[in-house]
Amino acid sequence: MSGKTHQELLQKYAEAIVKVGLNIRAGQRLIITLAATRGVPYQFAPLVREVAKAAYAVGAKYVEVLWSDEEMMRLRVQNAPRDSFDEYPTWQVDAVMKMIENGDALLSINGSNPDLLGGLDPEIVGAMQKTHLNHYSRVGERVTTNAVNWCVVAAAGEEWAKKIFPDLEPEKAQQKLWDAIFETTRIDQPDPIAAWEAHIVNLRKRGKYMQAKQYTGLHYSAPGTDFTLGLPNGHQWISAQSMAQNGVIFTANMPTEEVFTLPDRNRADGIVTSTFPLSYGGTLIEDFQVTFENGRIVKVNAKKGEAALQRLVDTDEGSHRLGEVALVPASSPIAKRGHLFYNTLYDENASCHIAIGRAYRFTLTGGAELNDEEFVSAGGNVSLNHVDFMIGSPKMDIDGIKKDGSREPVMRQGEWAFEA
């Protein structure tokens, strides 16, 4: 690494989260949500406390944390009465909503066990997940309109680390995962903030190029993939930074390597094959294909986790359609590490991906001002879900489809086919 101690790197990580990710303004409050296994304080408290210190250093007036233990979810599925899975702690959603309505910042720390709910009754798991989605949709809707500055980051959970590095002792696996997090979020560089600023400039150049092209669609070609999707009028290619409705410019994901927009919910045809496993709701879905006709998912199959994938698609009508298309070069820093992370925040930044479900309103011109019906009429998608899955590889070619129907290269062999 950089020669700095783990504690020094943790402090730098927290500073980057606060200054680059959230860009917290003086007077804002911050709410942090997270779940961990094997005892929350042991897992993530050191990072949370460093984030709190960094937030107060830039003028935050209050920091609060909603801690939870994800093992409680597994215990519930195993032991709770079968007719109890419509129960939900609505006070948590109310707390987050009050912070959002006040214009405060929202941070989510991710580090969960990819196999948490594997092997459990899929019907009960599905019921529990749908209850959560139904209640948490209020927060999701505000996030998709960038109501406030928000950010998602990761911390090296022990069970997650063991999944990635199964041959190492738990402590060594966890430290190796921390090293990977620090490397891919540029924290190991001499000046992480400056490194992030340069990276954001480069990503935004790619986004501006794609925006100027105003393609009507994209065509994907790779082993197991022959897929065309449409892009609606007014689509906005977004990269790295966004402007929140509270006036704060922020970076929603750390790491981030993607340039993304919304597809037309009614125009997706063909077959896509996953190139990375998908960890969804504590179940790992592997080696899967999704078939589309006229924008709608009409078939899924998977070697592992097919029932969970079908449950995802069947959540609601919007989960049968797409809400995001993202371009990521196969040589991204996450991809270069040469291993899976079994975590969407990381694996989506190693590969081109698409998302089942809800579209971000800010990826459509004027989308934040539209009601659901208007948004859908404009080509946007509305759903309880927003779940990314990875389809890119060094064998993928992508063409941009112009208004006259002609095509030109956007990516070749997994890399950008243009200079920006």
Per-residue pLDDT of the chain (420 residues; tens, 9 = 90+): 568 999 999 999 999 999 999 999 999 999 999 865 554 456 899 999 999 999 999 999 999 999 888 888 899 999 999 999 999 999 989 999 999 999 999 999 998 888 888 889 988 998 998 999 899 999 988 998 899 999 999 999 999 999 999 999 999 999 999 999 999 999 999 999 999 999 999 999 999 999 999 999 999 999 999 999 999 999 999 998 999 999 999 999 999 999 999 999 999 999 999 999 998 877 889 999 999 999 999 999 999 999 999 999 999 999 999 999 999 999 999 999 988 899 889 999 999 999 999 999 999 999 989 999 999 999 999 999 999 999 999 999 999 999 999 999 999 999 999 998
Q: Which domain holds residue 42?
A: 6-184
Q: How many CA atoms lie within 13 A of 400 on its CB side?
A: 17
Rounded to a whole number of angstroms, the CA Rg of the chain reads: 20
In a shared domain, residues 404 and 345: yes
What distances in angstroms separate CA 329 from CA 142, 214, 334, 412, one per listed residue? Answer: 30, 20, 10, 9
Alpha carbon 169 to its chain's center: 29
> Do 158 and 226 lie in a common domain?
no
**Distance (Å, whole) CA 179 – CA 1:** 7
Residues 268 and 171 in one domain: no
Residue 294 lies in a domain: yes
Whether residue 154 is found in the same domain as residue 80: yes
Which parts of 214-361 fold into alpha helices (H)?
A: 306-313, 333-336, 344-347
Specify the number of domains making up the chain.
Answer: 2
* Prediction pTM value: 0.89
Same domain, 79 and 27: yes
The SS3 assignment for 323 reads strand
180, 217: one domain: no
For residue 124, give both structure tokens: 């009960």
User: What is the H or E stretch that residue 69 is in?
Assistant: strand 62-69
How far apart (Å, rounded) are the C-alpha atoms in residues 230 and 265? 8
